[in-house]
Amino acid sequence: MTWRAVYHGDGKARETKIPPAPPWREFPRQPLGEIFQPPDGLVEAVNAAVCLRRPLLITGAPGSGKSAVIESVAAELRLGRVLRWHITSRSTLTEALYRYDALGRIHAQQLAATTGTQPAEDIGPFLQLGPLGTALLPSKRPRPMLIDEIDKSDLDLPSDLLDVLERGEFEIPELARHDRAEVAVREWGSDARPTVVRGRIQCTEFPFIVMTSNGERDFPGPFLRRCIRFVMPQPTVEMLSRVVHAHLTSPPDAEAMQLIQSFVDRVRSGESLAVDQLLNTVFLLRGTDTPKDATRKQLRELLLRELSRV
C-alpha cells in the first residue's frame, strides 16, 4: 500500500498512521549504485574517463539521472565517499579548493591578547579543504567527485578550472607563506586532517570527476577538450521500465506501462518532465487502496505536471 488519505482538511486532530516513504525518500539516503540503470553508451564514456583520467561531462535534462552516475561508479569501483560541489552563479574555484577563516583567526588572536595568553600559531584550525581540494589529495585510488550543474556557474569558472584539471595540483597561499612547513588541514565533510607541506597539494591519482550540465549554455573549447562528453539520450519505454523495476523492486504493471508510454510520448513532443516525476506517480498509484476515478486523474495531472509551467 502506498497511498493513504491522511489529511482531510477539516481541522480535526486525529491519530493517523503515516504511510511509508518511497525508497528514494528514505533517510539516511540509500545508495543509488545498485539500482542505477545506465543508458546506452554511458558505460563506454565512464570507462574512457576512468582510463584517461579525464573529467566526464554529462549533459541532459533535469531529472534524467546525471548526478546518479557518480554514485554508481563510486560504489562499483569502491572509490569511497562522493565529494560534491553544487554550482551556483556565485561559486568560485577558490572555495572549491579551500576555505580560510581569516576573521576567525583574528578573533582568536584578539581574544588571546585580552586574556594575556599566548596566541596560537597553528593556522590549521582556520583552514578547510573544499570538495575539489579534498579530491586532489594524494591517494591510492581516484577519489570520486561530483561538480553539479556547472552550466549555472559564472562565465569564467570553466576556464578557471583548466589549470587544476590539467596539472592536478594547487597551492594554498596562506600556508605557503606560513612559518611552519607542515600544517594539518581538515578535509571536506570529514574530521580527517591530512598534512599539507609548504602549502602545496598534488594528487597522485587524478580524481574521477563527473560534471553535470542541463545544456543551458556553451563551454569554451579548451575546457571541452579536457573532458569526455556524454549526452543523456531521450528516455525509451524499455529504459524507463528497467528504472521503475529497479526502484520499486517489481516489474511495472499495466497501468504503470501506460504511464511510461505517456511519459515517453510527452518528452518526445518537447515537454519537460523528470524521471522522478514518473517514479512518484507509479509509486503513489499502485496498490489496492489507491484512489479511483476523478481523484486518480487529478493525482496523475498533479504529479506529472510539466516542469516549465507554473
Q: Give the pLDDT score at 4.
A: 78
52: pLDDT strictly greater than 70: yes
pLDDT above 90 covers what percent of the chain? Answer: 71
**What is the tens place of the pLDDT at every residue in 148-189?**
999 999 999 999 999 999 999 999 999 999 989 999 999 999
Q: Residues 210-237: what's their mean pLDDT?
A: 95
Buried residues in 22-47 as b, exposed as e (16+ CB within 10 A): beeeeeeeeebbebbbbbeebeebbe
What is the chain's Cα-based Rg? 24
Q: What is the pLDDT of residue 225?
A: 95
Task: Look at residue 212 in the predicted model and tell me its pLDDT.
Answer: 97
Is residue 29 pLDDT above 90, yes or no? no
Q: What per-residue confidence (pLDDT) applies to 28?
A: 86
pLDDT at 301: 93
> Does the pLDDT at position 1 exceed 60?
no
pLDDT of residue 120: 60
Each domain of the chain, given as residue ranges in start order, spans 42-231, 234-303
CA triple 21-84-138, angle to 5 deg: 135
Integer Cα distance of 246 and 250 in angstroms:
7
Average pLDDT, the chain: 91
User: Mean pLDDT highest for which of 25-29, 58-62, 141-145?
Assistant: 141-145
Q: Render pLDDT for 225-257 as a digit per residue (tens, 0 to 9).
A: 999 999 999 999 999 999 999 988 889 999 999
pLDDT value at residue 33: 67
State the fold for domain 42-231: Rossmann fold (3.40.50)
DSSP designation for 151: G
Contact 274, 63 (CB under 8 A): yes
Whether residue 17 is predicted with pLDDT greater than 90 in this model: the reply is no
Instruction: Say whether pLDDT at 116 is over 70.
Output: no
Strand-pair partners of 231: 59
Neighbours of 223 (CB within 10 A): 19
| CB crowding 187-207: b at 16 or more within 10 Å, else e | bbeeeebeebeebebebebbb
pLDDT score of 90 more than 90: yes
User: Per-residue pLDDT for 58 more than 90?
Assistant: yes
Q: Which one is predicted more confidently, 129 or 30?
A: 129
What's the confidence (pLDDT) of residue 61? 86
pLDDT of 234 reads: 92
Phi-psi label, residue 241: left if phi above 0, alpha if psi -120 to 50, beta otherwise: alpha
What pLDDT was estimated at residue 126? 93
